[in-house]
Amino acid sequence: MEGFYHKFGISDRILAYGERIEEGLRERFAQIDKIVEHNQLKVVSAMQEHRVSQACFQGSSGYGYDDLGRDTLEKVYATCFCGEDALVRPQITCGTHALALALQSLVRPGDEILSPVGKPYDTLEEVIGIRPSRGSLAEYGVTYAQVDLKENGSFDLEGIRKALHPQTRLVTIQRSKGYDSRPTLSVEAIGTLIAFIKGLRPDVLCMVDNCYGEFVEEREPLEVGADLIVGSLIKNPGGGLAPSGGYLVGKKECIAEAACRLTSPGLGKEVGAGLGVLPAFYQGLFLAPSVVGSALKTAIFAANLLEPLGFDVLPDSKEPRHDIIQAVTFRRPEGLIAFCQGIQAAAPVDSFVTPEPWDMPGYDSKVIMAAGAFVQGSSIELSADGPLRPPYTAFFQGGLTWAHGKLGMLMALQKLYDAHLVSDL
C-alpha cells in the first residue's frame, strides 16, 4: 500500500501523520458506521415495503403516464423521509430549482415568507427577490422577512415571534450552514424551532432546505414537525449515482401544489417521463447512507488532520456533525490554492488538470475550484472551492468512499507541505 501512496507523491512523513490521526478517530468512525447501518435499513425497508422490482427500471418516454418506476420511487422517498408524498424528478434541474418550486407553489400574492435562521443560501436571494431578479417572488407581490440567529448561534425567539406577521404563510429553515459561518442546525434544533413557530401559528407552513443534511443523522426534519423537505440529487440522497434531479417530500397538499407548478395545473404528478435515469436514482438512494458516512469521515479526518497544524477548521475537530461541509481557513492565498490542487490531484477524473483561481460570474473576487467528478458539479463527490479573499477559506465536501476521501486529504496536506505552509508534523 505504501507503494501506491508513494506513486501519488505522498511521503512517509505525511502518511505516518495521517495514520496517527486516523487511529485517534476509531470511536467516532464507529459511531458514524452505526448511523449508516440505521439509515441503510431505513432505505432497504422502504424499498421492500413498496415492492421495488425490475419492472420499476423499465423507464418511460413522452408524457410518462403510469410510469411505475417514477411512482414507486416517490413512494420510497416518502416512506424513507417520513412524509405523506414526494416529488422526485429528473425534470427538477438542481437544488435551487427544487427550492424555487416549493416556494413558488406554496405562496400567493400578498403572502410573506419568513427565514428565522438568517440569510438563506445565495441562489435563493434571487428566487425570493432579496436581490432583485427577473421572475422573483417579489415581482409577484410576495414579501420576505428575516430574523438572524443570535450572536451565540441560538434562535432569536422574541424576534421570530414579532416577525410572524398575519400575512406570513411559509417559514423557510435552512438546515446546513452552506457557505456561511453560522452553525448548521441539528434535527433536534429544527424540531424545537418548528414547535415554537407552530405553537404561535399552527397554520404556517414550515419548509426545510435539507441540502447536505440527508442521512447525516438518524432522523430527518419531517420527523420533528416540518411540512416539507427539499433537496438536490447531486448531493447526499443521489448517492453519487443520480446524474441530475431534485426532490421534495412532505404533506400531500404541499406535494400536490409543487407538482402542479413543476408540470401544469391539472396534470400535476401524472406526467413526467423517467427518461432512463430512474435506475440510477434508486441505486443512488440505496448507496446514499454509506456514501454520506464516507463524506462525514472525510470531513472529520480533515478537521483533525489540519487543526493541530494551526489552521482554523469549522466545524472543529471534536464537534458533532449535522451536515457534510467542512471549512478550513488558510489565511494565505497559497494555502487555499495548494489545498484545492491537492484535492484535484487525488480525483479519479481530470486529475491531470491544475485548478487555478478565475473570475467566476456572480462573484466579486476570484474563485478556485477543485472537482474531478463523474457528475458535473456533484458535491457529494470529493470537491472543494473558495473565494480568493481573506481569510482564504476552502469549503469542501463529499467523498464517495472513505478511502478516496483519505487520499484526497493526504494529497492536500502533501501539497501544503511541499509549498512550505506546514512544518512540524
Ligand X SMILES: *Cc1c(COP(=O)(O)O)cnc(C)c1O
Rounded least distance, CB 174 to ligand X, Å: 5
Least distance in angstroms from the C-beta of 45 to ligand X: 27
Please give the size of the binding site for ligand X, defined by CB under 6 A.
Answer: 13
Does position 211 interact with ligand X (CB under 6 A)? The reply is yes
- Cell numbers describing residue 418: 511541499
The closest alpha carbon to 230, from 124, 344, 363, 357, belongs to 124
Q: Are 335 and 188 in contact (CB under 8 A)?
A: no
- Separation between Cα atoms, residue 339 and residue 344, nearest integer Å: 9
H or E element at residue 250: strand 246-250
Binder among 209, 217, 227, 385 for ligand X (CB under 6 A): 209
| Three-class secondary structure of residue 179 per DSSP | coil
Residue 115 or 341: the one with the smaller Cβ distance to ligand X is: 115
Q: CA 116 to CA 175: how far, in whole Å?
A: 11
Residue 329 contacts residue 393 (beta carbons within 8 Å): yes
Give the chain's end-to-end CA distance (angstroms, integer). 21
Bridge partners for 385 per DSSP? 369, 395
Q: Which residue is at the shortest CB distance from ligand X?
A: 95
Nearer to ligand X, 72 or 184 (CB): 184
Q: With binding defined as CB under 6 A, does residue 96 bind ligand X?
A: yes
| Nearest CA-CA partner of 102 in 34, 173, 32, 154 | 173
Pick between residue 95 and residue 335 the one whose CB is nearest to ligand X.
95
- Residue labelled with grid coordinates 434541474: 93
Q: Minimum distance from CB of 47 to ligand X (Å)?
A: 25
Least Å from the CB of residue 79 to ligand X: 24
Q: CA dist 232 to 99, 209, 214, 239, 416, Å? A: 9, 10, 10, 11, 32
Cβ nearer to ligand X, comparing 245 with 355:
245
Cis peptide before 315 (omega within 30 of 0): yes
For 29, phi then psi, to 5°, come to -65, -35
Distance CA 149, CA 159 (A): 9
In the complex with ligand X, the residue whose CB is nearer, 43 or 233, is 233
Q: Which residue, 43 or 99, has its beta carbon nearer to ligand X?
A: 99
Residues 161-180 that bind ligand X (CB under 6 A): 174, 176, 178
Of 5, 77, 81, 121, the one binding ligand X by CB under 6 A: 121
Which span (11-19, 60-68, 93-101, 298-306) binds ligand X, by CB under 6 A?
93-101
Taking residues 334 to 363 in sequence order and writing x for each that binds ligand X by CB under 6 A, - otherwise, the string is ------------------------------
For residue 370, which of 405, 341, 395, 407 has the smallest C-alpha distance? 341
Alpha-carbon gap, residue 205 to 213, rounded angstroms: 20
- Interacting residue with ligand X among 40, 58, 91, 123 (CB under 6 A): 123
All residues at 6 or more sequence positions from 158 whose CB lies less than 8 Å from its CB, including other chains: none
The contact mask relative to ligand X for 215-254 (x = CB under 6 A, - = no) is -----------------x----------------------
Q: Any idea what the Cα angle at residue 16 is, between residues 12 and 22, rounded to 5°? A: 145
**Is 405 an interacting residue with respect to ligand X (CB under 6 A)?**
no
Binding segment toward ligand X, per CB under 6 A, in 90-98, 236-244, 383-391, 402-410: 90-98
CB 15 → ligand X: shortest distance, Å? Answer: 33
Does 133 interact with ligand X (rule: CB under 6 A)? no
Three-class SS state of 247: strand
Footprint (CB under 6 A) of ligand X, residues 58-77: none
Q: Does 212 bind ligand X (CB under 6 A)?
A: yes
- Residue 126 binds ligand X, judged by CB under 6 A: no
Residue placing its CB nearer to ligand X in the complex, 8 or 374 = 374
Residue closer to ligand X, measured from CB, 96 or 263: 96
The residues that touch ligand X, with contacts defined as CB under 6 A, are 94-96, 99, 121, 123, 174, 176, 178, 209, 211-212, 232
